[in-house]
Amino acid sequence: SQTIHQWPATLVQPVGSPLSLECTVEGTSNPNLYWYRQAAGRGLQLLFYSVGIGQISSEVPQNLSASRPQDRQFILSSKKLLLSDSGFYLCAWVPSLSRQDTQYFGPGTRLTVL
Partner 1 sequence: AQKVTQAQTEISVVEKEDVTLDCVYETRDTTYYLFWYKQPPSGELVFLIRRNSFDEQNEISGRYSWNFQKSTSSFNFTITASQVVDSAVYFCALISLLTGGGNKLTFGTGTQLKVEL
- Cα–Cα distance for residue pair 1/27, rounded to 1 Å: 6
CB of 74 to partner 1, least distance (A): 13
Binding site for partner 1 (CB under 8 A): 32, 34, 41-44, 46, 49, 51, 55, 57, 59, 88, 90, 92, 94, 97, 99-108, 110
CB-nearer residue toward partner 1: 16 or 96: 96
CB of 17 to partner 1, least distance (A): 23
For the stretch 97-103, contacts whose Cβ atoms lie closer than 8 Å and that sit 24 or more positions apart, written own/partner, are: 97/32, 97/51, 103/34
